[in-house]
């Protein structure tokens, strides 16, 4: 039974962003992965995605983060993006870039507003040790050739900061994009789901993470650095939609189902959840906004 109270008349200013896991399959197996859940192997057909998008639109959400797993493993990705754009949503596509060919990049041109590429180290051996063989080359190829005049979307480089790359491994990452209007987003390692099992190898304190971010900002004053902290006490964060329609929020080292997009009005779910708890999202709105928008 859904423990959240359903309230009518959703507020005007509500959650505006939803993370849509269009697949939970992935072509990599990063040891610290917190976004991959292995129990849903199927992908929604486009007809069902359309139903969910209608629900998302009724909830007045304006931005959809397209994520996985790895979204590019879906062969119908372009059709999905076309549909999302037809609804008028702003789109953020997160990828490890391994399947991002020039042809696909060209097709993404008018379908994504923000492209997020993972890069966890400034050198190939360390990065690929965690991200898999070839990921460093794939990511840096996109980042170094990115030209905002040619690519009409904004680029974000996502780096998960953990024990292993903290002291020696991320400091030189900006060499791939210095001088370009790229946001470098640092994400504190999150011990959630399978990622929790390896926390002893990867976790760092929020204090250390923030200090490191400050040091890097000082070192690269012209680079826009956005931070995403993790705190075990943080209760509710972003709203996620899984391929089975489940709507989830993070809750400590797990995710918690708060509704289902096939059965519930997302606007009601949002209100019932965020009515009861102050969310990280609301408390840290500026930080969140900065993490993907501040590129001008
Ligand atoms: S590429 Fe992303 S989704 Fe895939 S295993 Fe690595 S962290 Fe998880």
pLDDT band at 160 (very low <50, low <70, confident <90, very high): very high
Mean confidence (pLDDT) of the chain: 86
The end-to-end CA distance of the chain, in Å, is: 45
* Cα distance between residue 134 and residue 139, in whole Å: 9
Using one digit for the tens of pLDDT, what is the confidence trace for 161-196? 999 999 989 999 999 999 999 999 999 998 887 788
Among protein residues, the one with the nearest Cα to ligand 1's atom 3 is 69
pLDDT attached to residue 80: 98
Any ligand 1 atom below 6 A from CB of 28: yes
pLDDT at 283 over 70: no
Among protein residues, the one with the nearest Cα to ligand 1's atom 6 is 30
pLDDT attached to residue 14: 60
Using one digit for the tens of pLDDT, what is the confidence trace for 44-92? 999 999 999 999 999 999 999 999 899 999 999 999 999 999 999 999 9
What the chain holds in terms of domains, given with CATH numbers, is: 17-293 (3.20.20.70)
pLDDT attached to residue 288: 56
Among protein residues, the one with the nearest Cα to ligand 1's atom 8 is 33
Using one digit for the tens of pLDDT, what is the confidence trace for 196-233? 888 889 999 999 999 999 999 999 999 989 888 876 55
From 47, 115, 116, select the one nearest 76 (Cα to Cα): 47
Any ligand 1 atom below 6 A from CB of 30: yes
* Cα distance between residue 244 and residue 44, in whole Å: 7
pLDDT attached to residue 41: 78
3-state secondary structure the chain: CCCCCCCCCCCCCCCCEEEEECCCCCCCCCCCCCCCCCCCCCCCCHHHHHHHHHHHHHCCCCEEEEECCCHHHCCCHHHHHHHHHHCCCEEEEEECCCCCCHHHHHHHCCCCCEEEEECCCCCHHHHHHHHCCCHHHHHHHHHHHCCCCCCCCEEEEEEEECHHHHCCCCCCHHHHCCCCCEEEEEEECCCCCHHHHCHHHHCCCHHHHHHHHHHHHHHCCCCEEEEECCCCCCCCCCEEECCCCEEEEEECCEEEEEEECCCCCHHHHHHHHHHHCCCHHHHCHHHHHHHHHCCC
From 100, 204, 199, 110, select the one nearest 162 (Cα to Cα): 204
Any ligand 1 atom below 6 A from CB of 96: yes
Q: Residue range 250-274: average pLDDT?
A: 88
Q: Residue range 107-136: average pLDDT?
A: 96
Any ligand 1 atom below 6 A from CB of 138: no
* Residue 11 CA, ligand 1 centroid: distance in Å: 34
Any ligand 1 atom below 6 A from CB of 162: no
Any ligand 1 atom below 6 A from CB of 158: no
Q: Residue range 119-147: average pLDDT?
A: 96
Percent of the chain at pLDDT exceeding 70: 84
pLDDT at 275 over 70: no
């Amino acid at each position: 039974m859904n423990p959240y109270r359903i309230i009518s008349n959703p507020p005007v200013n509500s959650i505006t962003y939803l993370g849509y896991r269009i697949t939970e399959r992935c072509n990599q197996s990063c040891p610290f992965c917190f976004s991959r859940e292995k129990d849903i192997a199927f992908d929604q057909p486009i007809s069902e995605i359309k139903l969910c998008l209608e629900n998302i639109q009724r909830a007045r959400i304006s931005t959809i983060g397209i994520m996985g797993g790895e979204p590019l493993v879906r062969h119908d990705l372009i059709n999905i993006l076309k549909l999302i754009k037809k609804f008028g949503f702003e789109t953020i596509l997160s990828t490890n870039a391994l399947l991002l060919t020039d042809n696909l990049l060209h097709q993404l041109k008018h379908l994504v507003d923000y492209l997020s590429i993972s890069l966890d180290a400034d050198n190939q051996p360390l990065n690929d040790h965690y991200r898999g063989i070839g990921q460093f080359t794939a990511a840096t190829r996109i980042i170094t050739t990115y030209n905002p005049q040619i690519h009409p979307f904004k680029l974000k480089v996502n780096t998960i900061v953990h024990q292993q790359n903290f002291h020696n491994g991320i400091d030189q990452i900006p060499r791939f994009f210095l001088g370009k209007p790229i946001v470098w987003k640092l994400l504190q390692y999150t011990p959630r789901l399978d990622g929790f099992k390896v926390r002893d190898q990867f976790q760092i304190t929020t204090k250390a993470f923030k200090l490191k971010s400050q040091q890097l900002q000082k070192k690269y004053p012209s680079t826009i650095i956005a931070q995403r902290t993790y705190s075990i006490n943080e209760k509710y964060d972003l709203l996620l939609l899984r391929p089975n329609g489940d709507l989830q929020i993070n809750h400590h080292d797990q995710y918690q189902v708060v509704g289902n997009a096939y059965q519930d009005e997302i606007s009601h779910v949002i209100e019932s959840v965020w009515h009861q708890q102050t969310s990280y999202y609301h408390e840290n709105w500026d930080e969140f906004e900065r993490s993907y928008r501040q590129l001008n």
